[in-house]
Structure 1
């Protein structure tokens, strides 16, 4: 589908680069042999192929990850931009794999960073009225785990990423409208060679998964599992409906109305850091962009692996 990913000339000049939201999953994405995980992997590989087909090549990928939220120490309303040279990947896993699968701590993902471009982004945020701090950190698993599949650096299917990555945080806290404003602030960078990839999850609730595991009996476990799956599917469907709204403002407002349903949001996102990258991506989209879900839909109890292209 080259027309969907290749910026093409128009009456007002070249189209801006697309925006992607990807469901990144955990490190199990790289070794789980379940049929469901293979579907999630294939979905991400297809997006990697799309990105590699973009011409002309982006000068950088601007990433927003559910695992890079601005530090509370800076106070509300401050964004962090990673300007470190030679970033390492962080083995920042939720679970402790030292006994069960110690090899995950040996995973690497060769990549290029560009501190000078990160500073360019930092300056742009300041001009756009966003308070931003420069920080130095590694690449969290919300980026390198899916990118390791999308842009494999080794093996017979090797297709390493040929542009640098620039990491920008989301805002700390629960001001969800601010995340959309952050997306709006970086939207202009789409015309300057930056491809925006936001990485989170449409549904992300370890709390819900724990409620299944902790049920007292098999019958109760099955009942809770069915309930959690129904809630996850309902939120995923409502999210897709919100994304289908026509026009940037209508799409953003539909997402905020969905988030305003506190009980539904809390059940599917007990904490919001995996939801906020989607709001940033939506904010970076314009009236000319359509939100297109990509790949095969995968929803399980407490998790949704939705992927979306805005273009």
Structure 2
């Protein structure tokens, strides 16, 4: 695949997203899980309609990859990484065969380095489930090239907001930026007992995303002071992709595009879009 990533095009600016990607290989477990993921699947499947066109590529920042520097996948045919345990045997043989994009990888590295942030390539890295599970709902034919970009160890919110700002030009180059995590991620506190803390944090998060841009960033940088913050995220790797999406959003408004208040027996969970959907006024 040939891609030109060196200049801004005249295409309309794409939105950015923070999505809750669900647990493990859920798209391949519908028989076992029934309708547990029906609402999330529908929300993910609606994203191409919101975008209004097929992106040239997707840059996915997954909660499941951390590295010493911001590291970009440069493999043209990324393998699968089955980074989960305790699931049925068939889920360790699933495939999501989207191509990679070395051209986009080079473009991303250049943008990150130009912002004074540390960048690196990984030519062997494969797709983790923070990518392939939501992508199976978003683009089931795996026709859109995808490049993953790591979080940086330390998980500094300001540094990841800065990363998003550095990546913002990609939005005008028909590259979709997606932060993939979970709005609530405490595996030791699921079910009905998590109802109140997950709602408290989710309410705060939605108010924050929908705030004016300057206030939005200020609140996100102080996320650990939010109600039930450390119950919702004992470790914040599943929240930090939101910082990237918000940083890349610039002045664009944020809106909640998916919400459940009883997910997995009691969790309040959400996903968000920054920027207008196709056909909407910016």
TM range (shorter): 0.7 to 0.9
The alignment's TM-score, normalised by the length of structure 2, stands at 0.85
Equivalent residue runs for 1:58-207 within 5 Å: 58-70=55-67, 74=68, 78-93=69-84, 95-97=85-87, 101-136=88-123, 137-152=125-140, 160-207=141-188
Structure 1 runs (4+) greater than 4 angstroms displaced:
301-304
2:259–2:271: 8 Å Cα contact kept in structure 1?
Answer: no
User: Relative to total residues, which structure has the larger helix share, 1 or 2?
Assistant: 1
Higher Cα radius of gyration: 1
**Residue 58 (structure 1) shift:** 2.6
**Residue 147 (structure 1) shift:** 0.6
| Alpha-carbon displacement from aligned partner over 1:229-261 (angstroms, at most 9, x marks no partner) | 100111011100111111x22111122233234
CA–CA separation in structure 2 for the residues paired with 1:249 and 1:283: 10
Pair 226,103 (structure 1): closer, same or farther in 2 beyond 3 Å: closer
CA–CA separation in structure 2 for the residues paired with 1:164 and 1:28: 20
CA–CA separation in structure 2 for the residues paired with 1:85 and 1:161: 14
SS at match of 1:35: coil
**Residue 163 (structure 1) shift:** 2.7
CA–CA separation in structure 1 for the residues paired with 2:221 and 2:110: 28
CA–CA separation in structure 1 for the residues paired with 2:112 and 2:96: 28
2:202–2:269: 8 Å Cα contact kept in structure 1?
Answer: no
Q: Which structure 1 residue ranges, 5 or more long, are not aligned?
A: 1-12, 153-159, 210-224
CA–CA separation in structure 1 for the residues paired with 2:14 and 2:133: 23
CA–CA separation in structure 2 for the residues paired with 1:65 and 1:307: 14
CA–CA separation in structure 2 for the residues paired with 1:239 and 1:305: 10
Query: Which of 213, 231, 256 is residue 197 of structure 2 equivalent to?
Result: 231
SS at match of 1:68: strand
**Residue 271 (structure 1) shift:** 1.1
Query: Which of 258, 274, 281 is residue 310 of structure 1 equivalent to?
Result: 274
Aligned residues: 261
Give RMSD over aligned pairs.
Answer: 2.0
Pair 290,255 (structure 1): closer, same or farther in 2 beyond 3 Å: same
1:25 has 2:22 as partner: yes
Q: Which structure 2 residue ranges, 5 or more long, are not aligned?
A: 1-9, 276-282
**Residue 49 (structure 1) shift:** 3.8
1:251 has 2:216 as partner: yes
| Alpha-carbon displacement from aligned partner over 1:10-56 (angstroms, at most 9, x marks no partner) | xxx654211011110123522244434212221211124434x32xx
CA–CA separation in structure 1 for the residues paired with 2:120 and 2:270: 31
CA–CA separation in structure 2 for the residues paired with 1:297 and 1:184: 29
CA–CA separation in structure 1 for the residues paired with 2:268 and 2:146: 25
* Of 169-178 and 198-207, the range deviating more from structure 2: 169-178
Query: Which of 237, 248, 264 is residue 273 of structure 1 equivalent to?
Result: 237
**Residue 117 (structure 1) shift:** 1.8
Q: Which residue of 2 aligns with 1:155?
A: none
| Alpha-carbon displacement from aligned partner over 1:168-209 (angstroms, at most 9, x marks no partner) | 111211421211111111112212222101100111101223
| Alpha-carbon displacement from aligned partner over 1:48-70 (angstroms, at most 9, x marks no partner) | 4434x32xx43211110011122
